[in-house]
Chain A
């Protein structure tokens, strides 16, 4: 069981959060209400998505302090503690793209020659900026118009309708198109959390001494460029693009990877 510990923890977290959001509508619970765009925790604490908030501000609308405070709380949490954990511990699309990835490996689509790589991983940062520009030009939060994340979340809470097509499209794109195409290349929300969480304290740490260079971690990692230190040096994974999903820790048979608190002061 030890090789799916973090995977299970993540799924439990994701399902619990979604269930609480679902219950807020279906049963009138006051645990976690709203959607990722803006939520209320325990009926009092405002939470808001930083990128969504920025998009609304870009349209020229002066948001209420509730949302701004909510965005600030979210930013502080991921900046200090979580890193890019939203993507792997909260976001429901993560389950879709993880499934696509797993199938990809099972169906042998993971080979270099069947992996279309026409999009660069940096594209998401361009898209993130572009989303703000489009929001300002058109006068509507532009990513929210097509975001599969909130479409899926609202689908679970209020019913999917034709929105299910967007989720299927993401699945097909990740399975037959670009490997880790959505989460690792395109998603501007993930990009924003990469930037926010760059300096957070919870990090995966690599132990060069214990590593046998089996490279299982690199196979399973959705952002495997962040694991550049494997079998080279004993340092923490400090790239903001690491989602702290812990799959590398799960699959490592040599105890060479584990979560730790980022050490300050020493050289990186």
Chain B
């Protein structure tokens, strides 16, 4: 009897220990996994799902990177293989290990017509349907790997110096980046040729960033969610017939809160804390 009691006690103790250690391991493991997910400023291959889904889906096989480096167009004049755009994140890259990414200033995306990296993806992390045009053909221009942003304080074109390196490097010449002519009031007789990125066309390939002549590129590609804002649905372009349609059936909503108790002029004149 005493023996079976002992056995039972031992069984409970070891079970408790196993469960406890499993919980400990689970917490450490979850914490670590969650931390390594946090590498926001990473550029993914064309057609990649939004980052959160991409990290779930990517099976880390490297087939995209292999297709990228071995594409037929990736040869120099002697026929040698050049470095591929896509790298597989390794320890020390501070990006989710084993996932494909690229750094524009190392090797940008050359926007191959046949997009070799995408159809080989076995898991669906690189979403081929998102790159198909109306004719059901692969169309690299539909890729949204990121969006180029110009820092006008360091862009010498904004100083009045003539430079159109990014404009000329852009694979979608005069579409994704256009030059805006503006009078240079300082000299009174010259023009600014200002690079303007059109975010509905830019694919985020990074060729502009690679081509930029300043010490640190004045034009650079960021993941779209970091290079765009969002006005929200409550702003309506009243001059746009289609947008105005959205509020056709809008009814007045009476909001009662601390602010609405006062007259508009009252709270506009008060200091507002944000």
Could you list which residues of chain A lie within 8 angstroms of chain B, going by C-beta atoms?
Answer: 24-25, 27-28, 33-35, 37-40, 46, 48, 52-53, 56, 59-64, 66-67, 70, 126-127, 130-131, 133-134, 137-142, 144-146, 150-151, 154-155, 157-166
Contacts and interface: CB of A to CB of B under 8 A. Distances in A.
Contact of A141 (B30, B59, B122): B59
Interface in B73-100: 81, 87-88, 90-93, 96-98
Contacts of B93: 161
Contacts of B98: 35, 37, 144, 150-151, 154
Contacts of A142: 29-30, 33
A72 to B, nearest CB: 13
A29 to B, nearest CB: 9
Interface stretch (B50-58, B157-165, B192-200, B229-237): B50-58
A64 B60 contact: no
Interface stretch (B63-71, B166-174, B256-264): B63-71
Interface string B29-44: 1101110110000000
Given A37-B59, A40-B63, A157-B62, A56 B123 contact: yes
Given A38-B59, A130-B29, A146-B32, A28 B96 contact: no
B184 interface: no
Contact of A145 (B33, B53, B61): B33
A64 B122 contact: yes
Nearest to B52: A139
Contact of A37 (B18, B29, B56, B61): B61
A24 B66 contact: yes
Given A130-B25, A134-B26, A35 B60 contact: yes
Interface of B: 18, 22, 25-26, 29-30, 32-34, 36-37, 52-53, 55-57, 59-63, 65-66, 69-70, 81, 87-88, 90-93, 96-98, 120, 122-124
B36 A38 contact: no
A163 B58 CA distance: 19
A161 B61 contact: no
Contact of A127 (B25, B37, B62, B69): B25
Contacts of A33: 63, 66
A166 B10 CA distance: 36
B62 A25 contact: yes
A227 B66 CA distance: 43
B26 A130 contact: yes
A158 B87 contact: yes
Contact of A130 (B22, B53, B81, B124): B22
A165 B91 CA distance: 9
